[in-house]
Amino acid sequence: MSSSLPRSVRHVACGSAARSAPEDALRLKLHGTSPSFSVDVAGLDQQLTTRVAPRFRDLIRLASYVLVADQAVTRGEEDSLDLGKRWRREFKFVVGVEDLNVWDCDEMRDVLESTLHTLTDDFYTFEFVPQLDSEPEQLNFGAVGDDPFLPLEGFASVQLFSGGMDSFTGAAEEILGSDRDVILVSHRSATKTWKLQRDLIDDLRQRAPSRRILHVAVSMVKHAKELRRERTQRSRSFLYAALAGTVANLVGLDFIRFYENGIVGMNLPVLPQVIGTRATRTTHPEVLRGFSKILSLLGSQSMRVENPFEFLSRAEVAGRLNGAGAIDVLSKTVSCAHVHKSSKMHPHCGVCSQCVDRRISMLAAGFAEHDPAEGYAVDILRGQHPTGEGDVLTERDRTMIVGYVHAADRFRDLASPLELQHRYPEVTRALLGLTERYVIDADEALRRVYEVHKRHGDGVGRAVETLFDSDTVRALRKPNGIPADSLPALLGARGLGMSGSHQQKEEVALEIVPADAEHVFRRQGQNWTLKYRGGKPLIMKHTKGLNYISFLFRHPSEELTAFALIDLDEGREVGRHSLSTSFSIDAKTLSSVKGKMRELKSALADAIEYCDDAGAARIRAEIETLEDYVSRETGLGGKVRRESPDRKRARSSVSNAITRAIGTVRKEHPAFADYLKRQIQTGFFLQYRDVSTHWLL
């Protein structure tokens, strides 16, 4: 059993398939007396849409169904500390389509399921059936505002356009830099986003009055609040790609373009906590490869899905915007991930990963004056809060901000492409898409990925160094000398970003720890500051054991495996084998599993009696999974197998490191060491038991 008992499958019945769906299925309809939602495509005149082939109409509807289901089924609380385990959902779609022949084949199902899994980390299966309605479900097409009708011949490219810095730079390069006609494709997710996109496009039209700029946008209105439960929307780019691919097919182009800098596109984990679905893969090379395959299977020619900024950092993208002569428009673009929190005065929240990356990257690129602090609800460079809300940074915000800089430091210190691959094994999944797209071998693809991350790290390092002038360092040593939520203070508290001697860094770190903090367990560069029950702070050199303890402190009462702690310590995404299960491998576990199997077999008999074929199939799958688990974990006679060598090594390594760390603490603070020994369970399954003590981490 990999990480938990089998996931429950959510059935989604789409279109006419809803008639024969299981009772608990999510039923989605686009037309009729009570449609679930509506899809409106603006920018294409109705007479043009008669040229949209049925298979592409199916594509837009399918992508819409996937996005609606994504938002209708919650992943759980964003701050849950299960390392992403409960964020992964499983969907079974049954979809009515017009062109059954093109959809109902193994090749199409395989590429859909694998691409959406990579994009969202959820699991998908698809079944396609004929659309039985006399009139196929309709999409609404119309013009954008009062824009005149534009013939579709002669356009040079179809590009995704969000209104963010990267997508605007891509449009500016094509229109202003290369003097080309383009079609920009957007998602109208909110009124303020739609106005932002329109204003930016109007600016481009004013700068290039002789160029044709067609804007096509899709909006989705969900008619029930039950369809608006989940905010993450990881599958949204599938709808973008579907619409862009449809438009490209209309105009006879064999490519579409996403524009996203390579650091966001490759999406290597900034923090160990940012795993699975918590980190977007909108433009990940493997996702773009999958989109290309889907569109190629639908069209009469191969379709490429490109990201021209794949090997550029955000700071380098800013340089390209400057080269296109539109750097003055930077302040009008919005890169914030928290659109729902934005306001006219402060379109950026200032604390999400996108905002932090943008602020620091513009400092690195030398364009900070074009990205004014007034546009951010929180100015992390100076620790100011223009909204007047006071201290609005949560511990999660602070951890993410420091983690971003720390990750850039790690990129900066990488010695070779192989070291990048060793420290971030996730990079391997990007190489196949890159080798195919650029016709290069894996070594060359890895070298390019390494170089962009190295340049990104260098740029962030330079930007941070400019913040630590002599006045700042002196201010850090004074009470209330610098706002606690400013980037220099956040980094200084951890020994990052400052020049000077080890003793100077240590002095600053000690002074930044709040005097009234009772319990502190905080890493500061290569040192740890520990404080127990308000006593004198201890400064200890970094060890793996202290790091393991800090991860346990972040997850009180949660049971983590030794594999998980090793992954977290080494900066890797937590693998499925690393997640703790609700059982350990002992006689009690096997008894519980066998009891569960008996319950399932009884439920299976009921399902068969009441002709519930779908329920019976699901229960059989659960029973088979548990039987496989028992078979793997037991030997002859049903006895528990010996512990595997890998598990034994992990258990010994982690437990011994924690024991050594507690021993070191004992030399300075015996009472603290006794507390750690009582509250930390070692072994293969580790746990910090105390849920009442709050640690400043």
Contacts of 663 (CB under 8 A, 6+ apart): 673
d(CA 455, CA 2): 38
Of the candidate ranges 23-27, 73-77, 215-219, 233-237, the one whose mean pLDDT is the lowest: 73-77
Kindly state whether residue 508 falls inside one of the protein's structural domains.
Answer: no
pLDDT at 118 over 70: yes
In whole angstroms, how far apart are CA 677 and each of 250, 543, 548, 612?
Answer: 68, 17, 14, 52
Contact 459, 365 (CB under 8 A): yes
Strand partners, 539: 529
pLDDT at 636 over 60: no
| Average pLDDT across the chain, whole number | 80
Identify the pLDDT of residue 581.
Answer: 41
Of the candidate ranges 92-96, 142-146, 429-433, 567-571, the one whose mean pLDDT is the lowest: 142-146
d(CA 437, CA 355): 30
String of DSSP letters for 173-216: IIIIIS---EEEEEE--SHHHHHHHHHHHHHHHHH-TTS-EEEE
pLDDT at 362 over 70: yes
Q: Indicate the DSSP class of residue 217.
A: E
Classified as helix, coil or strand, 548 is: helix
Token pair listed for 120: 């969202």
Q: Which of 141, 171, 203 finishes a domain?
A: 141
Q: Indicate the DSSP class of residue 516.
A: T
d(CA 464, CA 675): 38
d(CA 630, CA 650): 22
Identify the pLDDT of residue 634.
Answer: 61
Token pair listed for 227: 């369809």
Identify the pLDDT of residue 43.
Answer: 67
pLDDT at 79 over 60: no
Locus of tokens 């609005």: 392
d(CA 46, CA 44): 6
Identify the pLDDT of residue 137.
Answer: 60
Which has more pLDDT, 8 or 538? 538
pLDDT at 46 over 70: no
String of DSSP letters for 241-304: HHHHHHHHHHHT-SEEE----HHHHH---SSTTS-GGGS--TT-HHHHHHHHHHHHHHSSS--E
Three-class SS string for 456-470?
Answer: HHHHHHHHHHHHCCH
pLDDT at 415 over 80: yes
Tell me: the pLDDT tens digits for 365-413?
999 999 988 888 888 887 765 544 444 677 778 778 888 888 898 898 8
Identify the pLDDT of residue 389.
Answer: 47
Identify the pLDDT of residue 377.
Answer: 85
Of the candidate ranges 27-31, 62-66, 421-425, the one whose mean pLDDT is the lowest: 27-31
Q: Indicate the DSSP class of residue 480.
A: T
pLDDT at 328 over 90: yes
Tell me: the pLDDT tens digits for 52-61?
888 998 999 9
Classified as helix, coil or strand, 551 is: helix
Identify the pLDDT of residue 584.
Answer: 43
Tell me: the pLDDT tens digits for 662-678?
999 999 899 999 999 99
Q: Indicate the DSSP class of residue 693.
A: -
Closest listed residue to residue 287, CA positions, set 230, 338, 236, 246: 236
Kindly state whether residue 41 falls inside one of the protein's structural domains.
Answer: yes
Identify the pLDDT of residue 493.
Answer: 66
Contact 697, 514 (CB under 8 A): no
Percentage of residues in the chain having pLDDT higher than 90: 35
Identify the pLDDT of residue 679.
Answer: 92
CB neighbourhood size of 390 (10 A): 8
Strand partners, 681: 687
Q: Which of 116, 141, 166 finishes a domain?
A: 141
Kindly state whether residue 542 falls inside one of the protein's structural domains.
Answer: no
**How long is the chain?**
697
Kindly state whether residue 43 falls inside one of the protein's structural domains.
Answer: yes
Kindly state whether residue 616 falls inside one of the protein's structural domains.
Answer: yes
Identify the pLDDT of residue 285.
Answer: 94
Q: In whole angstroms, what separates CA 214 from the centre of its chain?
A: 30
pLDDT at 580 over 50: no
d(CA 294, CA 288): 10
Kindly state whether residue 86 falls inside one of the protein's structural domains.
Answer: yes
Kindly state whether residue 229 falls inside one of the protein's structural domains.
Answer: no
Radius of gyration of the chain (CA): 27
Give the mean model confidence (pLDDT) for residues 140-146. 58
Tell me: the pLDDT tens digits for 434-489?
999 999 999 999 999 999 999 999 999 999 888 876 566 666 556 566 777 788 87
Identify the pLDDT of residue 609.
Answer: 57
Identify the pLDDT of residue 441.
Answer: 93
Identify the pLDDT of residue 637.
Answer: 52
Identify the pLDDT of residue 150.
Answer: 57
In whole angstroms, how far apart are CA 216 and each of 53, 137, 306, 633?
Answer: 18, 20, 19, 55
The number of domains in the chain is 2
Kindly state whether residue 78 falls inside one of the protein's structural domains.
Answer: yes
Q: DSSP H helical segments within 486-525, as ranges?
A: 487-492, 502-512
Identify the pLDDT of residue 564.
Answer: 86
Residue environment code for 361-370, b if the CB has 16+ CB neighbours within 10 A, otherwise e: bbbbbebbeb
Contacts of 136 (CB under 8 A, 6+ apart): 54, 57, 98
Q: Which of 620, 642, 664 finishes a domain?
A: 642
Q: How confident is the model at residue 151 (pLDDT cuts 50, 70, 90)?
A: low
In whole angstroms, how far apart are CA 9 and each of 21, 68, 73?
Answer: 13, 16, 11
Which has more pLDDT, 643 or 444? 444
d(CA 561, CA 624): 25
**Full residue range of the structural domain in which residue 61 is found:** 9-141
Token pair listed for 491: 């980094």
Token pair listed for 470: 């002599």
Tell me: the pLDDT tens digits for 338-353?
766 666 778 888 888 8
Identify the pLDDT of residue 169.
Answer: 97
Identify the pLDDT of residue 640.
Answer: 55
- Cα dihedral 339, 340, 341, 342 sign: positive
Q: What is the rounded (10 degree) CA torsion for 65, 67, 71, 72?
A: 10
Contact 67, 14 (CB under 8 A): no
Token pair listed for 275: 């795993």
- What is the H or E stretch that residue 218 is in? strand 213-222
pLDDT at 222 over 70: yes
Identify the pLDDT of residue 113.
Answer: 95
d(CA 651, CA 661): 16
